[in-house]
Structure 1
């Protein structure tokens, strides 16, 4: 949940699905906004470091806001997406509901990003936390040539402290007073990024790190595959320089005639197998060969009558994938099909189906999010090839009043789902929650708030979110800024 406080500031309007955030007004002389390309002409041995306060704002600004809140008698609880802000009001987070909360800025908004698995350990709860990500920028218009792929390291991610200055929980911590730091390596793209996904192939030598690949769906319709292994290594190898040759894509896929948003690497093909879908409704498969090259099958999968908005491989069947489209359908395919047509087609919405997430813990569960703000969970075992069959979703929610922009199952809990929407919110849901009769009476008057709703996090222009696979409960979301947080609810 969030709180509101009076300030001479207003919220930007949420973006519709597919819209690109406007470029941020960046003062190039300010440390927070200066992201120079490390590889244009000269090379430096030190990475660029960007520091932010606890919530991404200068201490003076935050203290002034807290003072204004005290004058007004304290903030009120505010439900984002259900209430309207009054003129001159803006939102501040209720920090008592977070275990960790940080904002980090980039010079241009990023529509899409992905989290890179690292070698720092599984299920870690040590703070300050460190994580690695990759993102593509959204510099439009005259600045389009400034676009780049950003390989980033977030560090110094400390946890929240209690009001008495003590730790808010009993987890291990080395230093609670650190500020978050963002280091980056920049790979020039000269085009905006619609969506980016990463893949790691195990090294033949166990002592060496895995090869980390990225696939970038661009506005130019090309799909660029980069090997960012040296970029990641350079963060933790003093003096290591990434050469211009290592910034070049290892493969450029030119099969698509229009831009697209659907892209996914198979989790069951270690070498690398990639799906890409475009606005013409066509889907292509690109496979990494034994020699390290890439081959794209020129025969597309056809069936959608609208743009392919999302693609995901099955987490349990190596030859099966699903796609979601602006035609309101989800289709399930088998790559071995000679007809290149879908095995199953299900009309699930009268609106664009923007996003989709396949549950890795229970692989017959699929979550979808549509342009009308509704998201749903489906049991694929109830789907059939009979076109007249219309199974009901296991659960569906219309809490959000704007389009769903991202959805993802918790990596280890098949009842927890995170959802991002155009109403500037990230919501966390527990599908296992049910109300008994007494609880139903207690919740009278808030019937439009489902009992499964665990948490509401405000983030301006939020576009995509991901759970961190190695830090339990940690979420990263991109919008006007990057938000890294962990709630006390999950």
Structure 2
């Protein structure tokens, strides 16, 4: 990121949790639109020709352009260290991105999930396509306008580079395109706190058929609604198809929680659907889909947290095990078969709220957490000992790695889907950062580079206003989608 003169930036906002939400202005009439700050200033060839013939000598015009370029301060921006002067804002350096697009929606969507598609894995060609689901944050008198949004983002082109001029015209045409947003919506009765998608394989075992895609939305009114969005997704690839009114009806509405919540996760090892939900009372419930398609919630909650449950994560390799993170500063590990409904392991990991958590799907004993004080760390679960028969042990083991680079609360964290050393972190300091735990740098190299206070594991810093949630697009290596108060990126 580099600095440039512009309007002053907005104030930082706190992480979305425990009932705190940003106040949104009235939305535009459009469903949503891409915003390309790198697009051409002039729309047509006539405008370009007219702009070039302005009566001034070429040398004079070139000199003015050079002066304009010098107004941009290309100093690197470091969160919590670089101070923006009045009238300054941040501008991305296009040369550091393979792809970069921004997208605005009528209302902020501060939680979303990426939907796996049938376009293939390990995709590296452009233009790219991404499918996602999101929940809106309409507040106040317009809260009835909230909806579940099903999105298709296509025509996502690669950044143009100087060496691209050497490519053939045919190859350039394939990679350059205008981004397109298509969307379908399902009305919701309340603001969405958190949304997660899950795919169920075809019951016939015929994997040539598409999976059933369902979503679970935790709402501000404490309800959890489950929808089947398969038909909505199919309309993107079948123009002209019409959805029946029944397509927007929930498969189930769970009313087991007495308070709202932000913690939700689908089990990757229960194909038909097993859902965990946690609320601000510290209670966790498990809901299972039966073979007949009904949704059954166990009325006995998992108890043990003394404050709100902020994050839930199923184990990637143990179908009966999950972990929970709480604003009480602890992470607990549970076995759903336990009759006591108490945690098997109870670990104090922070003196502040533990906002977010991610379980590595490559190295199953590694768990990453992010807290309200800006610290995030990685823990080796093999060092966490089970509780004694007398109850909670509240262990305080040392993390495998810990970083206090961010000076504001950590709002999102997620392991790279295939690299067990790379982690993406979102923070209320308006940045999304990438880290590689395998990187080492000795003290002398750090001093020579002038980066003594910057961890060598920090790979990349992306500015994103009030970032709330991020996810890797697993089928497109290196691609991350994030959301914040100003839209998606």
Compute the TM-score of the two structures, normalised by the length of structure 2: 0.89
Instruction: Pick one of 424, 428, 437 that aligns with 1:431.
Output: 437
1:31 is matched with which residue? none
2:127 matches 1:128:
yes
2:417 is matched with which residue? 411
User: Structure 2 unaligned runs (5+)?
Assistant: 49-63, 388-392
* CA 1:167–1:475: 2 relative to 1, 3 Å: farther
Q: C-alpha displacement at 1:69, in angstroms? A: 7.8
Within 1, Cα distance between the matches of 2:231 and 2:35?
Answer: 29
Q: C-alpha displacement at 1:15, in angstroms? A: 1.4
Q: C-alpha displacement at 1:60, in angstroms? A: 6.2
Residue correspondence of structure 1 range 319-358 to structure 2 within 5 A: 319-358=320-359
1:47 is matched with which residue? none
* CA 1:185–1:56: 2 relative to 1, 3 Å: farther
Q: C-alpha displacement at 1:446, in angstroms? A: 2.5
1:316 is matched with which residue? 317
* CA 1:383–1:198: 2 relative to 1, 3 Å: same
Q: C-alpha displacement at 1:26, in angstroms? A: 3.5
Q: C-alpha displacement at 1:58, in angstroms? A: 8.0
Residue correspondence of structure 1 range 264-275 to structure 2 within 5 A: 264-275=265-276
2:143 matches 1:163:
no
Contact 2:368–2:413 (Cα < 8 Å) also in 1: yes
SS state of the match for residue 110, structure 1? coil
Contact 2:110–2:485 (Cα < 8 Å) also in 1: no
2:61 matches 1:79:
no
Contact 2:126–2:176 (Cα < 8 Å) also in 1: no
Within 2, Cα distance between the matches of 1:395 and 1:167?
Answer: 44
Greater length-normalized contact order (CA 8 Å, ≥ 6 residues apart): 1
Q: C-alpha displacement at 1:438, in angstroms? A: 3.9
Q: How many residues align?
A: 458
Cα deviation 1:188-209 (Å, max 9, x = unaligned): 0021000000000001233321
Contact 1:273–1:288 (Cα < 8 Å) also in 2: yes
Contact 1:56–1:103 (Cα < 8 Å) also in 2: no
Cα deviation 1:302-336 (Å, max 9, x = unaligned): 00000000000000000000000000000000000
Within 1, Cα distance between the matches of 2:308 and 2:373?
Answer: 17
Contact 1:126–1:174 (Cα < 8 Å) also in 2: no
2:381 is matched with which residue? 380
2:183 is matched with which residue? 184
Instruction: Pick one of 401, 404, 411 that aligns with 1:398.
Output: 404
1:45 is matched with which residue? none
Within 2, Cα distance between the matches of 1:369 and 1:346?
Answer: 14
1:98 is matched with which residue? 97
Within 1, Cα distance between the matches of 2:166 and 2:110?
Answer: 34
SS state of the match for residue 99, structure 2? strand
Q: C-alpha displacement at 1:125, in angstroms? A: 0.5
2:366 is matched with which residue? 365
2:483 matches 1:478:
yes
Contact 1:136–1:148 (Cα < 8 Å) also in 2: yes
2:59 matches 1:54:
no
Contact 1:216–1:223 (Cα < 8 Å) also in 2: yes
Within 1, Cα distance between the matches of 2:33 and 2:263?
Answer: 33
2:452 matches 1:447:
yes
SS state of the match for residue 221, structure 1? coil
* CA 1:277–1:243: 2 relative to 1, 3 Å: same
2:291 is matched with which residue? 290
Contact 2:33–2:105 (Cα < 8 Å) also in 1: no
SS state of the match for residue 100, structure 2? strand
1:46 is matched with which residue? none
Within 1, Cα distance between the matches of 2:37 and 2:316?
Answer: 35
Within 1, Cα distance between the matches of 2:173 and 2:370?
Answer: 40
Compute the TM-score of the two structures, normalised by the length of structure 1: 0.89
Cα deviation 1:267-309 (Å, max 9, x = unaligned): 0000000000000000000001001111010000000000000
Instruction: Pick one of 462, 465, 471 that aligns with 1:466.
Output: 471
Q: C-alpha displacement at 1:242, in angstroms? A: 1.4
Within 1, Cα distance between the matches of 2:144 and 2:257?
Answer: 21
Contact 1:160–1:167 (Cα < 8 Å) also in 2: no
Runs of 4+ with >6 A deviation = 66-69
SS state of the match for residue 445, structure 2? helix
User: Structure 1 unaligned runs (5+)?
Assistant: 29-33, 36-49, 485-490
RMSD over aligned CA atoms reads: 2.3
Within 2, Cα distance between the matches of 1:80 and 1:115?
Answer: 29
Within 2, Cα distance between the matches of 1:173 and 1:106?
Answer: 30
2:224 is matched with which residue? 223
Cα deviation 1:106-157 (Å, max 9, x = unaligned): 0111110000000000001110000100000001011100000000000010
SS state of the match for residue 15, structure 2? coil
Residue correspondence of structure 1 range 192-203 to structure 2 within 5 A: 192-203=191-202
Cα deviation 1:162-212 (Å, max 9, x = unaligned): 13653899xx77633312111100100021000000000001233321000
1:42 is matched with which residue? none
